[in-house]
Structures are given as C-alpha cells and as structure tokens.
Amino acid sequence: MKQAVFLFLVSLLLLPAGFAASPEGSVIGVPISLADSLLNFLNTAKEDTIEIKTLNKLSRQYINTGRYDEAIQLAQKAQQHAEKLGFKMGLGDAFSNIGVAYCYLGVNDKSRDNHRKALAVRKEINDRQGVAGSYNNIGLVYLNESNYEKTLENYFKSLKIKEEIGDRKGLTSSYNNIGVIYLKQKKYEKALDIFTKSLKICEEIDDKTGIAMANGNIGLVYFGKDNFKKSLESQLKSFKIREKIGDKLGMTLTLANIGNIYINQNDYRMALDIYFQGLKIDKEIGNNHGTAISYGNIGSCYLQMAEFEKSFQYLNKALDLYKQDEDNEGLDNVYWILSDLCSKKGDFKKAFEYQKLYSDTKDTILNEESNKQLTEMNSKYESERKDNDLIKKDAEIMKQQADGEKQIILRNAFILGFILVLVLAFFIFRGYRQKQRANRLLDEKNGKITDSINYAKRIQESILPPLQEMKKFLPESFVLYQPKDIVSGDFYWFHKSAYPAIHLRDGEASKANTNSLSGEDGGGHILIAAVDCTGHGVPGAFMSMMGYNLLEQVVKKHNIYQPSLILNELSKLVVESLRQTDQIGKVNDGMDIALVSLVKNTESSQGEKESQSPLYSHLEYAGAHNSLYLIRNGILHETKADKASIGYSFDKSFSFANHKIMLEKGDCLYIFSDGFADQSGGPDNEKFYYQPFRELLIEISHLSMEEQKKKLQTVFSEWKGSKDQIDDMLVIGLRV
C-alpha cells in the first residue's frame, strides 16, 4: 500500500521523468559569459545570416537562464531579419525560440502558434530534424494543458521522423517523453515497455545520462505497481550512474524516490538516512527548492515516528525556504502537515491556525490559476481578432477579383438554384413529416423513461430511514437532503442497536473476529452515516441502493458496530460485489462516507439532572474522505477522514482509523457529502468551498436544528441562484 500522508514525496514522484520532457532547440550549459560575447558581436555585425544565427543563439541562452521576455525580443528581431533576407533556417529557429519562451511563461496559445509557424517553415525547406523538434515542442504545449491525447499524437509524429532519419539519441528523448505520459495515466505496462526501449538504445550508444534517466523512470513504474523491490533496484542503478558522472541534481532526485520507497515499507530510519544524504547534496549545489523539499520530507518522516519536536523543527525550515521563494504550493503542503502535527500533539488551536493558513494559501493558488486562464483566454481572443482582420482583407481582394464574373455566375446560379429549391422543398417536406413522427415516438419514450425514474425515486425513498424514527433517538437533529436529479447518489443511513460499542486496541482491528463485536447486554448505541456514491442520477442511485444494502448487511448480518471495522468490511464487500480489479477498463466505482456511532450515557445517576449531561456520553467516528465537524462553545473541531474511498482504491492491508470523542452537553455534530461545498454560484460563479461552509456552521450553531436546516437551505439556494445544481447535496446535523 502506497502511503499518501507524505505530500512532499508525492510531489517528487514524476520529477526525474520530467527531465526528458524539455523543449527541443534549447541549449543546456552555455556559459553566462557567452551572452556578453554574443552581445558585443551583435553591436558590430552586419545584417546577414550570421547576425540572425547569433540572435537565435543569444535568445536560447536567455531562455536557459530564465530571461524569457528578453529571449522573445531577440528571437522576434531574428524573425524580422530572416523574413527580409529570406533565410528560412533562421526563420524556423526564431519561431521555435519564441514558442519555447512562451511555453515556459505558460502562454500556451502563443507558444503553440509560433511552434506551428516553425513547423511550416521547416517542412518547406525539408529540415526533418527540425520538424521532429517542432512536433515535440507542440506536444509539450498540450502537456501544459494536461491534454494527454494531443500530447501523445505530436510525440509519436516526432518519434516516427527520428526513426526514419536514424536519430538514435533523439529516439531516447521521445521514448522518455511518451513514457512520462503513460506514467501519468497509470498505464504502467505501456510505460515500462517504452522506458525499456529507451534504456536499450542508451546502453548501445553508451549514453550514461540517458541510462540513469531510463532506470529512474523504470523504478517509478515499479513503484506505481507496488513492486518496491524492483523499484529500489532500478533507482539504485540510476543513483550509481549519476554519482559516477557527477550529476548531483539527479542524485538528489533519485535519493528522494529511494526514500519514498522506504517510507512505503515503513522503514522510517532508513528513509531518514536517505533524505539526509539528499539534503547534504542540495545544500552543496545551492538547490534551495530541493533543500526545502528535503526538509519537508524529513519533517514528515519524523511525524510518522511520533518525534514531534524534530518534525516541527524541520517543517519550519522548509516553511522559511518556501516563503523566501514565494512557493505557494510548497507552503500549502507544509501548512497541511503542521496542522496534522499540532492535532496529534493535542494543540488544536495551533492546528486550526495552520489549517486556516493552508486554506488561505490554497485559495491563492486557485486565484493564480484563474488569472493564468484569463490571460490565456485574452491572448486567444486577440489572436482570433487578428485572424479575422486578415480574413476581411482577403475577402475584399477576392471581391474585387470576382466583380467581372459576378453577372454570369448570378444568372447561372439563379437557374440552378431554382431547380435545387424545388428538389429541396420536396425533401424538406418529407423530412418534416418524418420528424413529426419521430418526435411523437421520442416523447412517448421520454415519458416512459421519466415514469420509470420517478418509480425508482419512490423505491429509493422507501429504503431511507424514516426521519420520525431518527427523531425518537435524536430529537435535536436535521437531515438536509437535496438530490441533483430525480434520484440520488447520496443517501443517509440510521441504525439503532441494542449492542454496546466494543473498543479495540491499535492493531487489533484487522485480527478481530467480527462475531466478537456483538454484545448480549444492554446499553446500545446509534449509528448514523452520510454517504456519497460515485456519480449522481440513475448511475448514482444504483450505487446508493447497493451501498445501503451492504451497510445493512455488515451491521445486521455480520454484527459489526465499530465504525472503522464497518468501513473495512463495507469496502471489501463493494470490491467483491463489483468484481473490481486493477485492470484497465474495470469498474472503479465506490463511495465516500462519514460514519458516527453515538454511545448512550449510562453512567449518570437517577438523581442527576438531564441538563447536566449529554444524552450520549461519547461518539466513535470513521470516514472515507468525508470529515466530521464538532462545534463546542462556538469553536469548530474537525476530525479528518482517511484519504481512501470505499471500494476500488481499497488495499487489503489498509484499515480505516477509529476515532473516539467524549461529548459534552450542547455539542453540535455535522456529517455531509461534498455537494454543498462544491456548488458553483455567487457573483463570480465559483465553488462555495469548505472554509465558508465551516464558518457558516459556526455562525448558525446556536440556533435550533430546524432553524439551522432552513438557514442552510436558504444560503444554498441564494448561492446557486439560477444556475444548475452540480451534485447531490446531503448535510446531517444533531445536538447532544
């Protein structure tokens, strides 16, 4: 089972493979002093092909040093001179350099436009190696947009040309680029096959850097397949070669991947040793970003070892470096782990503060992405406007050329048009009659389908627990249930048991006999769940019916009452029922759930007033993606769910965590699906998000449960406005 706690490790997973996906046409390792020499030469150079080549070379140098705007200006100057002199080779290189610079700047439309211009010029002069490079660079633009289909289409075009011209070193680059896409898509067998081809060629031409990269990528494939032994073998091969050739940056990335393997084998001491080796190299080469990642990995590892002070120390070092670099994604990861650290230490105030910082940083990242999208849209609009201007000019020229022939064409067109009108009138009339008949049949079928779905709704509603029955045991409670369509993929579940909750020590859950979880004495407790199945509408309803029945089966037939064990058993049954495997194309549906067990307060004496103690003494909770919120004295405490779904992603060795929380009189509890927080609306048509949802719950927590429900309904309706509801919505609230 791959551990998902270490956010820093996950971010490193694809970095080694990413080296292969670099724009073709950029020169790595040109000395900075060369730029000064080129500039001096340009000041005295004549306007000829040598000047154009120099401008292009200097533009590439600026790209490699991150001076993208200056690189674009130089390449545009080379473009103008090349067009004037008719120097096609220099013109293609100029367009290519402009495209590469815009690619690094994230201006995808302009990048793609210039690479296509470079492609056209290179095809014109039969520069096949240049054509292959242009296809590769166009693929990279689509990769920036996560359009893997278009990325692969262009990568394969580049690969085919390299095969035809015998460019073996270029082949290894294309193989690695294609393999990276397969790795992102989790098509591990395809990725392994193509990385192996790259490795074979690299070994034949004795390309040490390529051999190291291919071995590292093969190691990532085996990691994705949970074959940690082979993954480690490949990464160690990669490390030895990188160490031999002095590739220190590659060494740090490989060490991070090796540490990741040890983490997933729960060998934290070995992982720490590896991370510290990587940290030492990062400091030696002045790699601040890598140093920050190493600090974060070490802090995360100490957190898993429950060495909280050391964890806090290294996480703060990572935090300082990310602040210096203004790296919001890195800050986002650190704040999340610090929140988890403080929560485990019992410092819930600090945990809440870090959670707030995490949420604020996440919002900043989303805003930056939105601004980037707006910039790209504006660029696309300007490009289309210029194209329209050119079209208008062409149309004027064509109009002038066509004036002499207009009369003849009009006469002939009138005669032919009259005949066509008669023919078309006949076919239109016949088609109209046929369409009328088809519409009547379609209306009849739609009516039957709607009737069937409405009947399915009645069936679904009939299995849901009656709210009156829930009110008997939870008098201060509400259920806000609003499907997106007629039937729903969300459902709520309630069970009153006469059996007491059984508490197991850590590590016993998976070994316990489920029959031992039932009791024969009194006591009893309440089980209540908010469940969000894959999809909505009819597909979601099928999943919800199955999920409801399996929950009933786990509790009533198997006599399991502890929330974590219920989720473990439920996940196994979903996998068995849907015959889920890891094969591509198999069913990967499942569900997210928040499950709470309320244990009756049996310790209060007969003389104790009801107002002095809650109806339920404590609760137990387990969750798959869906958290539990508890509001006490106006402060919201979140108990996070496990980051695993019920069903497809379930690993046999994985066990859901069981949380026990003591209750006080007046505590408000909330469980829910993601429908409320994910609803789009408001003035900017954006999601409601969880932070405003939590603030809303705190604001209304003093109201009665019925008033809270009405307030939530009102806020949801006003936020949605005239827009469509995007998902099923379920919120359950209760006061003890």
DSSP states of 378-417: HHHHHHHHHHHHHHHHHHHHHHHHHGGGHHHHHHHHHHHH
| Residue 253 predicted with pLDDT over 70 | yes
Residue 610 has pLDDT above 80, yes or no: no
Q: At residue 339, does pLDDT exceed 80?
A: yes
Q: Give residue 380's pLDDT.
A: 47
Say yes or no to pLDDT of 116 above 90: yes
Higher per-residue confidence, 402 vs 616: 616
d(CA 736, CA 598): 9
Return the biggest CA–CA distance within the chain: 109
Whether the pLDDT of residue 135 is over 90: the answer is yes
DSSP secondary structure of 416-428? HHHHHHHHHHHHH
CA gap 140, 24 in Å, rounded: 10
- Other beta carbons less than 10 A from residue 467's beta carbon: 14
Q: For the chain, what's the residue count?
A: 736
Mean pLDDT, range 257-282, rounded to an integer: 91
pLDDT score of 605:
44
Please tell me the least confidently modeled range out of 367-376, 472-481, 578-587, 605-614: 367-376
The model's pLDDT over 537-554, given as tens digits with 9 standing for 90+, comes to 677 778 888 889 899 999
Distance CA 173, CA 197 (A): 11
**Is residue 519's pLDDT more than 60?**
no
pLDDT (average), residues 147-172: 91
pLDDT at 400: 60
Q: How confident is the model at residue 367 (pLDDT cuts 50, 70, 90)?
A: low
Measured distance CA(256)–CA(254) in Å, rounded: 5
What is the architecture of the domain spanning 464-735? Answer: 4-Layer Sandwich (3.60)
Instruction: Indicate whether 376 pLDDT > 60.
Output: no
Q: Which of 110-119, 178-187, 408-417, 594-603 has the lowest mean pLDDT?
A: 408-417
Residue with the larger pLDDT of the pair 587 and 547? 547
Better pLDDT: 170 or 404: 170
Q: What own/partner pairs with CB < 8 Å and gap ≥ 24 does 580-589 have?
A: 580/647, 580/648, 584/187, 587/648, 588/647, 588/648, 589/533, 589/534, 589/535, 589/543, 589/647, 589/648
**pLDDT, average across residues 189-203:** 93
How high is the pLDDT of residue 556? 86
Q: How confident is the model at residue 688, as a pLDDT?
A: 93
What is the tens place of the pLDDT at every residue in 624-650? Answer: 999 999 999 999 999 999 999 898 655
Residue position matching structure tokens 């499950």: 595
Amino acid letter at 252?
T
224-243 pLDDT, tens digit each: 999 999 999 999 999 999 99
| Domain span(s) for CATH 3.60.40.10 in the chain | 464-735
Digit-coded pLDDT (tens) for 669-696 = 999 999 999 999 998 899 999 999 999 9
Tell me the torsion sign for CA atoms 13, 16, 20, 22. positive
- Of the two residues 57 and 441, the one the predictor is more confident about is 57
Q: Which residues of 49-71 are buried (b: 16+ CB within 10 A; e: fewer)?
A: eebbbbbbbbbbbbbbeebbebb
Q: What is the pLDDT of residue 396?
A: 58
Q: Output the pLDDT for position 563.
A: 96
pLDDT at 37: 55
Query: 190 vs 577, which has greater pLDDT?
Result: 190
Of 441-455, 655-669, 685-699, the range with the lowest mean pLDDT is: 441-455
Which regions of the chain carry the CATH code 1.25.40.10?
288-362
According to DSSP, the residues that pair with 625 across neighbouring strands are 593
Q: How far is CA 428 from CA 341, 545, 600, in A?
A: 72, 48, 74
Residue 446 confidence (pLDDT): 65
pLDDT at 197 over 60: yes
Confidence of residue 497 (pLDDT cuts 50, 70, 90): confident
Cβ–Cβ < 8 Å for 668, 735: yes
For domain 288-362, the CATH superfamily is Tetratricopeptide repeat domain (1.25.40.10)
> pLDDT tens digits, residue range 698-725?
999 999 999 999 999 999 999 999 899 9
Backbone region of residue 572 per phi and psi (left: phi > 0; alpha: psi in -120 to 50; beta: other values): alpha
Which run of H or E residues covers position 224?
helix 208-224
Query: Residue 420, Cβ neighbours under 10 Å: how many?
Result: 11
91 — alpha (psi -120 to 50), left (phi > 0) or beta?
Answer: alpha
For CA atoms 679, 681, 685, 690, the dihedral sign is: negative
Alpha helices for 464-553 (secondary structure H): 467-473, 537-552
DSSP, collapsed to helix, strand or coil, labels residue 65 as coil
229, amino acid identity? K
pLDDT of amino acid 123:
94
Degrees, nearest 5: CA angle 723-727-728: 120
Instruction: Using pLDDT thresholds of 50, 70 and 90, give the confidence band for residue 365.
Output: low
Question: Tokens 């004036």, residue?
Answer: 403
- Looking at the predicted structure, is the pLDDT value of residue 165 above 60? yes
pTM greater than 0.75 (yes/no):
no
pLDDT of residue 642: 94
Contacts of residue 59, Cβ cutoff 8 Å, sequence gap at least 6: 71, 72, 74, 75, 78, 94, 97, 101
